[in-house]
């Protein structure tokens, strides 16, 4: 999971959301009504999906696991708790079926004072709560929020751990190639790097490359130099 930067919506869509929220509020809508209103707002949902795809990593990847295709809009705060946030842009994230329907469902743990424990990657930097082991492929929690996020989304399930390890190996090869290839090819390799699933692996590699003494497992000076060049777009 990595930080997602939320885009501003066009005015017409922002007005549409405000109007729909006003409607739910006037009805004092419960979760059932909010869900029905959400389901019937097909055009609005389709426009929102377009903006979420623009924000997602890789090719429309899930904003929680970074692996599978983001298939649906997830209400970060579930509608059964906050039905009036059905059309709140700040409550919308793109999620895959596994994270949305099998992992999170309606689970939304809170701490002792009622603050959400799950990480919303569009408002919080996941790196403050989660640490990714590049060699092992698994996440380790740095905080109780990290712990809850790993548990609810199943971030350490076997397929994700294997996928991150494979992405680490693949990314090292691509970065070595980036350091050696002709200028014309570099653009294609950069595009491929940013289109890959598991953007968290490349992000963790960039973070490690910034250290005064980057760890040897990154693949040596050639890979570190390519990471720094990739980060600075040179």
| Residues engaged in binding Zn ion (CB under 5 A) | 62, 64-65, 96, 99
Of the two residues 94 and 174, which places its CB atom closer to Zn ion in the complex? Answer: 94
Give the shortest CB-40-to-Zn ion separation in angstroms. 26
The structure tokens listed for 147 are 């712990």
Of the two residues 99 and 202, which places its CB atom closer to Zn ion in the complex? Answer: 99
The separation between CA 133 and the C-alpha centre of its own chain, rounded to angstroms, equals 18
Give the shortest CB-198-to-Zn ion separation in angstroms. 11
d(CA 228, CA 221): 10
Of the two residues 64 and 108, which places its CB atom closer to Zn ion in the complex? Answer: 64
Give the shortest CB-79-to-Zn ion separation in angstroms. 19
- Tell me the backbone φ, ψ of residue 132, rounded to 5 degrees: -100, 125
Helix axis angle, 199-209 relative to 158-180, nearest 10°? 60
Of the two residues 126 and 179, which places its CB atom closer to Zn ion in the complex? Answer: 126
Helical H segments across 73-232, by residue range: 97, 144-153, 158-180, 183-195, 199-209, 221-232
Give the shortest CB-54-to-Zn ion separation in angstroms. 18
Give the shortest CB-1-to-Zn ion separation in angstroms. 9
Helix axis angle, 221-232 relative to 158-180, nearest 10°? 90
For residue 52, with 0-12 CB atoms within 10 Å meaning exposed, 13-18 middle and 19 or more buried, which class applies? Answer: buried
Of the two residues 83 and 197, which places its CB atom closer to Zn ion in the complex? Answer: 197
């Amino acid at each position: 999971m990595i930080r997602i930067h939320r885009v501003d919506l066009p005015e017409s869509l922002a007005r549409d959301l405000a109007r729909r929220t006003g409607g739910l509020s006037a009805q004092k809508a419960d979760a059932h009504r909010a869900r029905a209103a959400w389901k019937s707002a097909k055009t609005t949902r389709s426009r929102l999906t377009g903006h979420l795809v623009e924000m997602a990593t890789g090719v429309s990847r899930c904003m929680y696991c970074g692996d599978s295709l983001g298939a649906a809009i997830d209400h970060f705060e579930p509608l059964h708790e906050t039905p009036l946030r059905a059309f709140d842009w700040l409550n919308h994230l793109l999620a895959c079926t596994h994270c949305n329907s099998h992992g999170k469902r309606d689970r939304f743990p809170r701490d002792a004072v009622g603050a959400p424990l799950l990480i919303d990657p569009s408002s919080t930097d996941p790196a403050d709560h989660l640490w990714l082991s590049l060699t092992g492929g698994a996440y380790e929690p740095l905080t109780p929020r990290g712990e809850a996020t790993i548990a609810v989304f199943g971030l350490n399930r076997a397929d994700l751990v294997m996928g991150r390890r494979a992405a680490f190996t693949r990314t090292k090869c691509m970065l070595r190639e980036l350091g050696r290839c002709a200028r014309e090819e570099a653009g294609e390799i950069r595009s491929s790097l940013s289109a890959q699933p598991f953007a968290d692996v490349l992000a963790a590699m960039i973070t490690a490359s910034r250290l005064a003494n980057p760890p040897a497992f990154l693949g040596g000076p050639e890979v570190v130099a390519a990471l720094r060049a990739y980060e600075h777009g040179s």
